[in-house]
Structures are given as structure tokens and as C-alpha cells.
Amino acid sequence: MSVSILVGLQWGDEGKGKIIDVLTKSVDMVVRFQGGNNAGHTVENGTEKFVLHLVPSGILYQGTDCVIANGVVVDPVGLMEEMKGLAARGVDLSHIQLSARCQLIMPWHKELDAFNENTADPSKKIGTTKKGIGPSYMAKMARTGLRACEILDKARFEKHFRDEAAYYNKLYVPHGAAAVDADSAFEKVWAACEYLKPYIKDSVVEVNAAIKAGRNILFEGAQAMFLDIDHGTYPYVTSSNTISGAACTGAGVPPKAIDMVWGVLKAYTTRVGEGPFPTELNDELGEHLRTKGGEFGATTGRPRRCGWLDIVGSRHSCMINGVDYLAVTKLDVLDDLDEIKICTAYRIDGEITEHSPADTELMKRIEPVYETLPGWKQSTSAARSWDDLPENARKYLNRVAELLDARIGIISVGPKREQTFRK
């Protein structure tokens, strides 16, 4: 029996959904604890592909409890549409629960997200998903947000909704933000709230009861370490804590309940949106990784920026997250390369460092120091065990594990469930 957390170690899109789907075979409950529908977790069950945004990645296994816990910001309309889409494809939704403590993303949060992005000085744009994530977390911290528990009382919900919509219109519309028509917006949001009402539960109690009962639980991180509001490349980050520690606050569980942390690491690095990316490849090689890896955002469709594996950043991630096991994904994308580089140190203003700087301005001046390894020049996509991998692929993985001082637990060589094996 175990309680595990799974987090991304880079800038997101490491393939967390797939690894969670694979681990869920032996899990009773999957819990999302931060972020919102800015996430796009892609899961293939053998015959079909699903992209999940708010619904936990355990949903494709019959009977696995799927919890959207208090740390998640929930767009009621987005969640309803996602659930209806899954139901139309025959997925059983009866095991989903939405925490009564979740903050709700409201129409003005999305307008404000778009307004901030569209009017920002080009050098200050974050490149957000425009899903209203930042403004919703702003409202949470300002203690003005609407929460899922309010859905249970329509009159109270409607009053709060209209007050906040009016406040937004008064504050931002004179400066050029799009106005929110409270009547039509309320009608649309309320229809979604009615749909979600049966799923609302006090998940803190449910998750803690499951821990006490010795059930296998997996906390599903969204985004990743370098998008963390405290530890990422601030301000080019998302608005939540994305690290393993956030599972405790985001679901209301004590740190001592956690047995294990999985860190998901793509065999190279990608990033969507603005911000520094020391090992980025703005050349044919970067284009090759993007094309071969299908590196286009699952939520926004934007092309992802691609580059070499960054050990300095990944080591920082392993330290903060307390990673016990690595799941290395997309190894097959490197199959055709003659040689593969790993960034083992940074040179900043002539000085060598093996640590990730706190100041993002310094990060922009990083010159990566690379170690070069030979490629394996053959397909790994049919590999089903460690021994099936070409020798140079095993050498690459062993070197990565050595540099990160972490054990490799899972390797993924393609999008399908069966293209995943334990070391």
C-alpha cells in the first residue's frame, strides 16, 4: 500500500498523464491538487487517445476514485464540457469528486487573463494559456473568490457572482478590458454548476479516510517544477505551487502520509510560453525534436520550444521535490540522433555554476556547458524491457540517473500503454 506523488521536473508536458495512467493499474484513488484546465494530460488506453484537463488521469480505469482537490482552480463550464465529452465516449464518471473547497474560475478571470496578456509590454508577456488561472488564484489570495461549496446555495452563489462581476466591470472595463454581461454569464455558469452539484464532496475528509484505510493513492501534479510560483523561472511561471509539497496543502493531507515521490523527466526539454530556456535549440535539431516528438501544446496547440536535457535544472527539481524514482519519457524521440548532449553546468558571466540561479535575469545569460554522448541510431519504440534497449540508450539513461543522483523506475518509448516498462 502506498501514497505517492507524481510531479513534472521540467516545464510541463513531460508525459505525466501517461505515466499516471500506467501507475493507476494498482491505484485506488488519483488526486489532482493544483492548477486547473491549463493542464493537458494526454492518455492513450490502447485504442483511443484522451486529453484530460481537469479530470484526473485515473478516469480510464473503472472504479478508480478521481478527486479534484481543494488546491485546483475549476472552470465549471470547462469541467462540465470535459465530463460530457468523456461520458459521450463511454467513460464512467461516477467516481469523480469535486472538492467543496475548490476555487472557481469565473468569466471575468478569463477576460482579465486575456487582457493582461494582450496589453502587456512584449517583454513582460507570460504566454499564459488564457484559461483564467492567474486571476483566479489572485482572487483566492485576495479572499474574494467563489468556491464550489457555494454552488449548494443558489441565492448565495448568485449574489457573490453578481457582486464580483460588477466589481470587475467597474475596475477593469474603463481601462479597456472586455465587459462581462452578468445576466448571460450567470446563466451559462449556473447551468454548469447544476451539472457539477452531485459531484461536490468534502474531499479533504474523503482523501484522509482513504489514507487511513490503507488505500493506494496517487497525487497527480500538473505543470512542473520550473513553472512553480515560488521555485520556477519567475515571473514566467504559472500561479500555483507545482512541487510535491503542494500535494499536502492542495489536498489537505499531512506530509508524513506521503510514502514516495515520482519525478517525470522527458529525455530532452520543452517549454511552452515565454521565459528563459538555457538549452533551447533554435535550429534544425530543435525542429526535429518538435516534429518527431509531436511537441504542440495539448491545451493551446502552440508549438513547444525544444532543447537538450538540462541536468542543472533537473537536479534542482529532484532536490526540491524529493524524488525517489524517475520516470523517463519520450526516449524514442532521440532515436535518430548521431550524438546527444546533456547540460551539466551553466556558465554565467564567465563563472561556472552547477546551481539554478534565483534571478531569472541571470538565467537569460546562461551559456550551457555540455557533455556529449553517442546516439544509438536505432528505434527503441518496440523495446519492452531495459535489456531490449540499445547499449548507448542504456548508457544515456544511466548517465542521467548518475548526474541526478536518482533511480530510474519507469521508461517510456512511445505514447501507447504497452510502450512503458519498469527498469
Catalytic residues: 13, 41
- Min dist CB 21 to ligand IMP, Å, is 16
- Min dist CB 7 to ligand IMP, Å, is 12
13 scored as a contact of ligand IMP (CB under 6 A): yes
39 scored as a contact of ligand IMP (CB under 6 A): yes
Nearest CB to ligand IMP, comparing residues 133 and 253: 133
Nearest CB to ligand IMP, comparing residues 351 and 361: 361
| 8 A C-beta contact, residue 308 and residue 393 | no
- Min dist CB 191 to ligand IMP, Å, is 25
Q: Which of 50, 109, 106 is nearest to 83 (CA)?
A: 50
Among 239, 241, 279, 420, binds ligand IMP (CB under 6 A): 239
Q: Which of 363, 373, 315 is nearest to 10 (CA)?
A: 315
Nearest CB to ligand IMP, comparing residues 216 and 221: 221
- Helix 76-88 vs helix 182-196: angle between axes, to the nearest 10 degrees? 50
Among 273, 307, 313, 415, binds ligand IMP (CB under 6 A): 273
The interface with ligand IMP within residues 47-106 (CB under 6 A) comprises none
- Min dist CB 133 to ligand IMP, Å, is 4
38 scored as a contact of ligand IMP (CB under 6 A): yes
From residue 12, how far is each of 35, 39, 297 by CA, in Å?
A: 12, 9, 10
238 scored as a contact of ligand IMP (CB under 6 A): yes
Q: What CA–CA distance (Å, rounded) separates 349 from 371?
A: 20
Q: Where are the alpha helices (DSSP H) in 89-237?
A: 107-119, 133-142, 154-172, 182-196, 203-212
Among 3, 5, 12, 186, binds ligand IMP (CB under 6 A): 12
C-alpha cell recorded at residue 245: 509539497
Q: What CA–CA distance (Å, rounded) separates 273 from 298?
A: 13
- Min dist CB 395 to ligand IMP, Å, is 29
Strand-pair category, 3-8 with 260-266: parallel
From residue 5, how far is each of 178, 184, 245 by CA, in Å?
A: 39, 40, 9
Q: Which stretch binds ligand IMP (CB under 6 A): 36-44, 198-206, 346-354, 370-378?
A: 36-44
From residue 423, how far is each of 253, 263, 321, 394, 398 by CA, in Å?
A: 30, 15, 21, 10, 11
Q: Which long-range contacts (CB under 8 A, 24 or more apart) does 292-297 make?
A: 292/333, 292/336, 293/268, 293/330, 293/333, 295/13, 295/270, 297/13, 297/40, 297/129, 297/272
- Min dist CB 289 to ligand IMP, Å, is 16
272 scored as a contact of ligand IMP (CB under 6 A): yes
Residues in contact with ligand IMP, counted by CB under 6 A, come to a total of 19
Q: Which of 276, 218, 319 is nearest to 16 (CA)?
A: 218
Q: Which amino acid is at 129?
A: T
Residues in contact with ligand IMP, shown as a per-residue x/- string from 126 to 165 under the rule CB under 6 A: xxxx-x-xx-------------------------------
- Min dist CB 14 to ligand IMP, Å, is 9
Q: Which stretch binds ligand IMP (CB under 6 A): 32-40, 82-90, 187-195, 383-391?
A: 32-40
Q: What CA–CA distance (Å, rounded) separates 49 from 339?
A: 32
The interface with ligand IMP within residues 207-236 (CB under 6 A) comprises 222-223, 227
Triad 268, 344, 369: Cα angle to 5°? 100
Nearest CB to ligand IMP, comparing residues 169 and 239: 239
Q: Which residue is nearest to ligand IMP (CB)?
A: 273
In the complex, the residues that contact ligand IMP under the rule CB under 6 A are 12-13, 38-40, 126-129, 131, 133-134, 222-223, 227, 238-239, 272-273
